[in-house]
Amino acid sequence: MITVTILHPNGERQEVLLAGVPRVGEHVRLGNGIPSTRLVVEHVLWVEGKGGGKEPDVIVVVRPLPEGPKA
């Protein structure tokens, strides 16, 4: 698991644990089983960890996916 900071369009930051780092264009859903907005990854930024063996910080910029047509 890796800690990833999700940056939402409204500027809100959210730290989450993910099994891996999503790639640009991939869809993610957050919420641990709670219905949530589907998001698409727009940018992934890796920031070098400070001090020797520290893990890098990962910032993932997302935007909500538009709702599909209602039947």
pLDDT tens digits, 2-46: 888 999 888 999 898 888 889 999 998 877 655 677 889 999 999
HEC readout, 18-67: ECCCCCCCCEEECCCCCCCCEEEEEEEEEECCCCCCCCCEEEEEEEECCC
Rounded-to-integer distance, Cα 37 and Cα 65, Å: 8
Within 10 Å of residue 6's Cβ, how many Cβ atoms?
Answer: 20
The tokens for 3 are: 């800690």
pTM comes to 0.76
* Residue 46 neighbours by CB under 8 Å, 6+ apart: 56, 57, 58
Domain segments of the chain as ranges: 2-64
Q: What is the pLDDT of residues 42-64, one digit of tens each?
A: 999 998 877 666 778 899 999 98
